[in-house]
Structure 1
Amino acid sequence: MNRKTLVLPAVAGLLAPVLAACGSTTSGGGSGDGIVVGTTDRFEAAEDAPAPFDPAYAYDAGAWNVLRQTVQTLMHVPRGGGAPKPEAAEECLFTDKGNESYRCTLRSGLKFANGDELTAEDVKFSIERVLNIDDDNGPITLLSNIDTVETKGDDQVVFHLKTPDATFPYKLSTPAAGIVDSATYDAKKLRDGFEVDGSGPYTVKPEVRDNRLVRAVFTKNPEYKGDLELRNDKVELRTFADSDEMGRALEAGDIDMMSRTMSPEQIQKLSESPAKGVELVEMPGLEIRYLAFNTADPSVEDKAVRQAMASAVNRNELTSSVYGSTAEPLYSLVPSSIPGHVNSFFNKYGDANVAGARSILRAAGIKTPVKLTLHYTTDHYGSGTAKEFEALGSQLNSTKLFDVTVKGTEWSKFRPAQKRGQYAVYGLGWFPDFPDADNYVAPFLDKDNFLNTPYVSNEIRNKLIPASRRVADRGAAGKTFAKIQDIVAEDVPVLPLWQGKQYVGARDDITGVEWSVNSSADLQLWELGRGVSG
């Protein structure tokens, strides 16, 4: 790797597993038994969400967990974190001092799972397809800094960037830059349904009922050539209605591991008195939860309302009462374990400062109580979300400064409505695309942002984000990120609430569990094997 590529030693050190599962390190690939992993993620093909697994559309942790197994990227973040390494590429590097030109040389002999040859033209096609489709739900913000894509022969591709971006190698490691086959994907239209064709470590066979995925069977791709080592031949991802049903399946031995999303009660039970043959594995996590605002909505258009909410919320009570030790209060968009973090919201508002909230509203001439509806999704982040929003509503109502109603909606309807601006206040979670402060800022505040927010800070968008990306040493970008976080605390387009840990429950004969989910909450199913119960 070129020296200009990011190196994050502080973050890499955080990614060591806390508790390894028992069992031998014997690969499960030779046993012939598929490993079954449970999830409460729901995948639905609907009018507003027709293409759940198209890289030009998919931009949520659940869908990316499918794509990371099947669609290859030029780069990938290694199992312990740190700087990205070549995956479909043999070598990638910046070719200029300004971090504006990035060249990748492909591995020889790459093929898609269907046997079609994979060349630099396929990479160009895939990246330009995301940019050309420009879907409102999609991950275009990760690639929008690309000016042109150039190929040199069959094995070299050069990305010319509009502005310097030291984080670009990370962006090429995400499914947004997944390589797809032009023979099965349209250059200008999404591919509806659940089929995925790629060159990744697995092929996938989806089982669908009533336009919803109920299971996805991943089978080792014999054509795969990349940097990943597969420890199994087959893994099944099975969906469950809720965490309780998933937990019962694990205890009964119907599944081998459960991941997203375990309830706080399950985590506590497995920690204190696990069922026979079942273990709990804790691993570092970088997930955050937050409230976001449609700043053009009359109810929250005045930033004094948003500031008062930031002052009144009691994060300590919220995390302890709903999530216990599995979450901790967060006072910035950037979590505490990421270089560049500062407690901007605490510094400005404190915590549970009702008197401060009252003063803010009085000074702005806002009539109280302020009527608001807090919207949340019922089926995307786990069973704790409903309790969390009930607690938030109660907190705000108890101040007498707000008159809050709480409303839950399933994800397939929630996300499109949020993007259309139908909610004034809504709750979301964020699992980072890559572990850098940039990825907790740009997706919310840059052009083509994930929230489709009307809020614009010209200083953040036109000055501070570009300045931070010119710095190859990410620790040295901390002052710039501190300024961004202070502006966010002043304007409150989003209100950070908490950051969480990650837990996985697994049968004790499954090996590699400690590596099966990285800090960004990405499933790495190739790490799992079947060993001997310990």
Structure 2
Amino acid sequence: MNKKGFILAFLFASVMALLIACSDNSNTDEPGNDNDSNNDGEQAEQVLKIANDQEPAGLDPHKTPAHSSVRIYSQVYSGLVQFDADMNVVGDLAVDWDQPDDQTYVFNLREGVKFHNDREMTAEDVKYSFERILDEETASHIASYFSNVDSIEVLGDYQIQFNLKSADATFLSNLTNASAAVVAKEVVEENGDLQQVAVGTGPFVFEEWVPDNRVVLLKNENYYDENLPKLDQVIYYTMKDEAARMSAIRTGEVDLTTVSAQSADLIKDQEGLEVKDYQSLEYSYVGFNNEHEILSNEKVRQALSLATNRESVADIVWGGDAVVSGPVAPSMGDWAIDVTEHELYSNNLEKAKELLAEAGYENGFDITITTASTYADMVDTAQILQQQWAEIGVNAEIKQIEWGEYIDTWVNKTADILVGRNGSGTDPDRALNYFFHTEGSANVWNFSNADYDELVTKGKTTVDLAERKAIYDQAQNDLLTLSPNLFLVSPMKYVAVRDSVEGFTPYPHDGEYILEVTKK
């Protein structure tokens, strides 16, 4: 099975959404106007209509981590390797690879693979793509994933070698990330970047992006796997309001959409619909600006952790369909520690008050929690925190902002406290290094701890599995103690699917795999 790599992301997108009207059937831009079947028994039109909750933030895989973008460009671009259904690393643009030593990887590429502009993809394109990721001017969100790359050598048109500075247990899994895509140099140079264009080698070809409305992808007739994809067209409709998405999936105007736990309960028994669920790799979090006058004090952050009742967040925000989590989500199995055993998860209000007093805030303090108005779970989480922290004298004001402003706030580190969601990824290095190492590409918290940096760097370069686990167990415990973020819960995910859709199975590492989907 050709699986696209798990994507990270989840947190980031731009503020664009449109509640798609359905009353005028003469408007061919609206969902529900294509006939999926006819009375003559002909084969159904292979068009999949998906309702999305956010507008893409851009289409450049090397620069844009927003999930609303990843779900689209992951269908357009390919990388060297990918995960299969069982999370084994398998070839994508690479047929196979050798590892002569711990610091060298040689990839043999598929011959005859073409970009969507009909130019053949070669090793030079792979070299260009990863050098672009590592270029500081690109400001790639995955640059730290590949910071251990010392040099890249083209050995032939279809062979490329990566030379690492040291052994790296994460290198192959990082290559499965959808943002580690191979791009065409001439397209970048012609457009300046890839935010408004998409020319890859993946299973679908970018056709159009109508802002506030839809993104259309077409089947790549020259995809290297001649049996895939099975769909001829995929249309992503932007529908910010969940009520609109619920209405659209109920009436058949769209074929597939993600829904909340509450909405899943409302439609689970409806004829013509199926709700598929899976335990996500996501966790909700509270991010602190570690250079804030008050929040720079570790005891303050610890007090807020002790004042947070995570079980209440799971019950109230997620209807009980979530588990208490640390930075490594429980769905990652043995990599995740039992965070409920950590002292700071004990919801001890007296201890929290003691820590605040020791930090010089015996009477509490005022603070602002920023959250995204477009996500009900984030708003609800902020409101619960506001109530819980008031019990130790913390007066939190909630600031709700639109998604585009939220993204800017995250990038520019301008919030005191930010409520959001992250993805643990498929290797603990992402959860612990990418977000919290001083040089981590997604460390937007102004957090820096030399001992912690040394520990997670050691984890990245340790090949022995048992040793890595021991290192990451310690790193998780240390991170909970340092509390640069508070980690809350990992929710179940729900996808509502029309019964006309066949072959769709969401996975924790890829909830939107559609290459084998067909319409009946």
TM-score above 0.5: yes
Question: 1:64-120 CA deviation, whole Å, 9 max, x = no partner?
Answer: 111110001110111x23221001111123220x2x211111011111112101000
Letter in 1 for 2:219: K
Per the alignment, do residues 66 and 344 of structure 1 end up closer, same or farther by CA in structure 2, a change over 3 Å counting?
Answer: same
- 1:140 equivalent in structure 2: 143
Contact kept, 8 Å, 2:52 with 2:237, in 1: the verdict is yes
- 1:320 equivalent in structure 2: 315
Describe the SS at the equivalent of 2:319.
Answer: helix
- 2:349 equivalent in structure 1: 354
User: Is 1:83 matched up with 2:51?
Assistant: no
User: Is 1:518 matched up with 2:518?
Assistant: no
Aligned match for 1:65, one of 71, 74, 79: 71
User: Is 1:263 matched up with 2:260?
Assistant: yes
Aligned match for 1:430, one of 422, 431, 435: 422
User: Is 1:456 matched up with 2:448?
Assistant: yes
- 2:399 equivalent in structure 1: 407
Contact kept, 8 Å, 1:290 with 1:427, in 2: the verdict is yes
- 1:201 equivalent in structure 2: 203
Q: Tell me how far 1:57 sits from its aligned partner.
A: 0.8
Contact kept, 8 Å, 2:114 with 2:121, in 1: the verdict is yes
Contact kept, 8 Å, 2:307 with 2:392, in 1: the verdict is no
Please give the alpha-carbon distance, in whole angstroms, between the structure 2 residues aligned to 1:160 and 1:188: 30
Per the alignment, do residues 177 and 400 of structure 1 end up closer, same or farther by CA in structure 2, a change over 3 Å counting?
Answer: closer
Describe the SS at the equivalent of 2:185.
Answer: coil
- 2:60 equivalent in structure 1: 54
User: Is 1:497 matched up with 2:494?
Assistant: no
- 2:123 equivalent in structure 1: 120
Q: Tell me how far 1:53 sits from its aligned partner.
A: 1.0
Please give the alpha-carbon distance, in whole angstroms, between the structure 1 residues aligned to 2:210 and 2:355: 51
- 1:300 equivalent in structure 2: 295
Per the alignment, do residues 148 and 188 of structure 1 end up closer, same or farther by CA in structure 2, a change over 3 Å counting?
Answer: farther
In structure 2, the gaps of 5 or more residues are 1-41
Please give the alpha-carbon distance, in whole angstroms, between the structure 2 residues aligned to 1:335 and 1:143: 23
Letter in 2 for 1:201: P
Contact kept, 8 Å, 1:133 with 1:189, in 2: the verdict is no
Please give the alpha-carbon distance, in whole angstroms, between the structure 2 residues aligned to 1:456 and 1:422: 17
User: Is 1:36 matched up with 2:31?
Assistant: no
Q: Tell me how far 1:469 sits from its aligned partner.
A: 2.4
Per the alignment, do residues 521 and 40 of structure 1 end up closer, same or farther by CA in structure 2, a change over 3 Å counting?
Answer: farther
More divergent stretch after superposition (29-38 vs 287-296): 29-38
Letter in 1 for 2:291: A
For residues 82-101 of structure 1, the aligned pairs below 5 Å read 82-96=87-101, 98=102, 100-101=103-104
Q: Tell me how far 1:277 sits from its aligned partner.
A: 0.5
User: Is 1:376 matched up with 2:350?
Assistant: no
Letter in 2 for 1:423: A
Please give the alpha-carbon distance, in whole angstroms, between the structure 2 residues aligned to 1:263 and 1:383: 9
More divergent stretch after superposition (361-370 vs 118-127): 361-370
Describe the SS at the equivalent of 2:179.
Answer: helix
Contact kept, 8 Å, 1:289 with 1:499, in 2: the verdict is yes
Letter in 1 for 2:236: L
Contact kept, 8 Å, 1:287 with 1:520, in 2: the verdict is no
Per the alignment, do residues 519 and 164 of structure 1 end up closer, same or farther by CA in structure 2, a change over 3 Å counting?
Answer: same
Q: Tell me how far 1:287 sits from its aligned partner.
A: 0.9
Question: 1:180-199 CA deviation, whole Å, 9 max, x = no partner?
Answer: 11121139953342x21000
- 1:230 equivalent in structure 2: 229
TM-score by length of 2: 0.87
Q: Which has the higher contact order (CA 8 A, sep 6+)?
A: 1
Aligned match for 1:396, one of 389, 398, 405: 389
Describe the SS at the equivalent of 1:204.
Answer: strand
Per the alignment, do residues 192 and 83 of structure 1 end up closer, same or farther by CA in structure 2, a change over 3 Å counting?
Answer: closer
TM-score by length of 1: 0.85
> Percent identity at matched positions?
22
| Matched pairs, number | 477
Question: 1:12-65 CA deviation, whole Å, 9 max, x = no partner?
Answer: xxxxxxxxxxxxxxxxx9633311111102224xxxxxxx11122111322111
Please give the alpha-carbon distance, in whole angstroms, between the structure 2 residues aligned to 1:106 and 1:68: 19
Letter in 2 for 1:248: S
Per the alignment, do residues 449 and 267 of structure 1 end up closer, same or farther by CA in structure 2, a change over 3 Å counting?
Answer: same
Per the alignment, do residues 519 and 134 of structure 1 end up closer, same or farther by CA in structure 2, a change over 3 Å counting?
Answer: farther
Letter in 2 for 1:337: S
Letter in 2 for 1:131: L
Letter in 1 for 2:379: A
User: Is 1:419 matched up with 2:411?
Assistant: yes
Describe the SS at the equivalent of 1:41.
Answer: coil
Q: Tell me how far 1:441 sits from its aligned partner.
A: 0.8
Contact kept, 8 Å, 2:55 with 2:238, in 1: the verdict is yes
For residues 231-250 of structure 1, the aligned pairs below 5 Å read 231-250=230-249
- 2:215 equivalent in structure 1: 216
Per the alignment, do residues 101 and 197 of structure 1 end up closer, same or farther by CA in structure 2, a change over 3 Å counting?
Answer: same
Contact kept, 8 Å, 2:97 with 2:108, in 1: the verdict is yes
Q: CA RMSD in A?
A: 2.1
Contact kept, 8 Å, 1:56 with 1:133, in 2: the verdict is no
Please give the alpha-carbon distance, in whole angstroms, between the structure 2 residues aligned to 1:116 and 1:76: 23
Q: Tell me how far 1:227 sits from its aligned partner.
A: 9.5
Q: Tell me how far 1:175 sits from its aligned partner.
A: 2.4
- 1:10 equivalent in structure 2: none
Aligned match for 2:134, one of 114, 131, 134: 131
Per the alignment, do residues 287 and 92 of structure 1 end up closer, same or farther by CA in structure 2, a change over 3 Å counting?
Answer: same
More divergent stretch after superposition (405-414 vs 449-458): 449-458
- 2:18 equivalent in structure 1: none
Please give the alpha-carbon distance, in whole angstroms, between the structure 2 residues aligned to 1:452 and 1:384: 22
Please give the alpha-carbon distance, in whole angstroms, between the structure 2 residues aligned to 1:225 and 1:366: 62
Q: Tell me how far 1:137 sits from its aligned partner.
A: 6.3
Please give the alpha-carbon distance, in whole angstroms, between the structure 2 residues aligned to 1:160 and 1:187: 30
Please give the alpha-carbon distance, in whole angstroms, between the structure 2 residues aligned to 1:243 and 1:112: 36
Describe the SS at the equivalent of 1:435.
Answer: coil
Please give the alpha-carbon distance, in whole angstroms, between the structure 2 residues aligned to 1:94 and 1:373: 50
Please give the alpha-carbon distance, in whole angstroms, between the structure 2 residues aligned to 1:143 and 1:186: 23
Please give the alpha-carbon distance, in whole angstroms, between the structure 2 residues aligned to 1:143 and 1:176: 12
- 1:5 equivalent in structure 2: none
More divergent stretch after superposition (233-242 vs 64-73): 233-242
After TM superposition, what 4+ stretches of structure 1 lie above 6 angstroms from structure 2? none
Please give the alpha-carbon distance, in whole angstroms, between the structure 2 residues aligned to 1:227 and 1:354: 61
Q: Tell me how far 1:322 sits from its aligned partner.
A: 1.6
Q: Tell me how far 1:364 sits from its aligned partner.
A: 2.6
Please give the alpha-carbon distance, in whole angstroms, between the structure 2 residues aligned to 1:251 and 1:111: 39
More divergent stretch after superposition (184-193 vs 198-207): 184-193
Please give the alpha-carbon distance, in whole angstroms, between the structure 2 residues aligned to 1:131 and 1:345: 38
